[in-house]
Chain A
Amino acid sequence: RKEVEQDPGPFNVPEGATVAFNCTYSNSASQSFFWYRQDCRKEPKLLMSVYSSGNEDGRFTAQLNRASQYISLLIRDSKLSDSATYLCVVNHLKGTYKYIFGTGTRLKVLA
């Protein structure tokens, strides 16, 4: 079993739709959680960190469920420019800073 698992998609949604992705992690000692965005043939870039109480950044909302060991990303009012691959990232060993990436979920927003 992979340490961090994501549905690869693609998720094809119309503009304006709301879409949600989940990511599960296997190590209960995982400390920090992030969502990264990667455009085709580009480097990943931080979209948002995920905090225990959940957090929101504009149209994006991230949630953490430690009991069930998953994090989620909700995108409201999807834009064409949201089309990308969304990577779930977990840092699971205290003090050693090994960032483990999921394989990513591909999103295509259609006009």
Chain B
Amino acid sequence: NAGVTQTPKFQVLKTGQSMTLQCAQDMNHEYMSWYRQDPGMGLRLIHYSVGAGITDQGEVPNGYNVSRSTTEDFPLRLLSAAPSQTSVYFCASSRTSGRVRPGELFFGEGSRLTVL
């Protein structure tokens, strides 16, 4: 019962470094997304995907890239880390897309990133 798996759980970066947050789900969900959560700001959508090969921007996409080469994986890349990207990142997936009523979002446990 793995569900949504995120790695790493904790990461410290220096300004300007790049890294990739990994997200994998084993529920055959079409929809996958990345959020960041900051105090007082709630969860903000970074990027999302409704299927392999399809990605789109959310509310706060700048500084992040994503790709969806398989149904299972949806990595989030930080191109050149900045202190403003210090946050908790959540990956989430859902079983529905297209014309079907949206379903429950399942979240990973989160990745806590600090950029110095």
Q: Which A residues have a C-beta under 8 Å from some C-beta of B? A: 8, 31-32, 34, 36, 41-46, 49, 87, 89, 91, 94-104
In the bound assembly, the distance between CA atoms of A46 and B95 in angstroms comes to: 14
Chain B interface size band reads: 20 to 34
Report yes or no: B102 in contact with A45, Cβ–Cβ below 8 A: no
In the bound assembly, the distance between CA atoms of A31 and B90 in angstroms comes to: 23
**For residues 60 through 116 of chain B, which have their beta carbon under 8 Å from a beta carbon of chain A?**
90, 92, 94, 96-99, 101-102, 104-105, 107-110
In the bound assembly, the distance between CA atoms of A49 and B92 in angstroms comes to: 17
Report yes or no: B107 in contact with A45, Cβ–Cβ below 8 A: yes
B6 shortest CB reach to chain A, Å: 9
In the bound assembly, the distance between CA atoms of A98 and B99 in angstroms comes to: 13
Of B40, B56, B104, the contact of A96 (CB 8 Å cutoff): B56
In the bound assembly, the distance between CA atoms of A42 and B99 in angstroms comes to: 31
Of B42, B94, B97, the contact of A101 (CB 8 Å cutoff): B42
Report yes or no: A97 in contact with B107, Cβ–Cβ below 8 A: no
* Nearest-neighbor residue (CB-CB) of A6 within chain B: B42
**For residues 8 through 67 of chain B, which have their beta carbon under 8 Å from a beta carbon of chain A?**
31, 33, 35, 40-45, 48, 50, 56, 58
In the bound assembly, the distance between CA atoms of A107 and B74 in angstroms comes to: 33
Q: Can you list 26 A-B contacts with CB-CB less than 8 angstroms, sorted by A residue number?
A: A8-B40, A31-B101, A31-B102, A42-B110, A43-B90, A43-B109, A44-B43, A46-B105, A49-B104, A87-B42, A87-B43, A91-B102, A94-B99, A95-B98, A95-B99, A96-B50, A96-B56, A97-B94, A97-B97, A97-B102, A98-B48, A99-B45, A99-B102, A100-B45, A101-B42, A101-B44
In the bound assembly, the distance between CA atoms of A97 and B31 in angstroms comes to: 8
* Nearest-neighbor residue (CB-CB) of A44 within chain B: B107
Q: Which chain A residues border B107 with CB–CB below 8 Å?
A: 43-45
Q: Which chain B residues border A45 with CB–CB below 8 Å?
A: 107
B98 shortest CB reach to chain A, Å: 6
Report yes or no: B40 in contact with A103, Cβ–Cβ below 8 A: yes
In the bound assembly, the distance between CA atoms of A32 and B74 in angstroms comes to: 24
* Nearest-neighbor residue (CB-CB) of B41 within chain A: A103
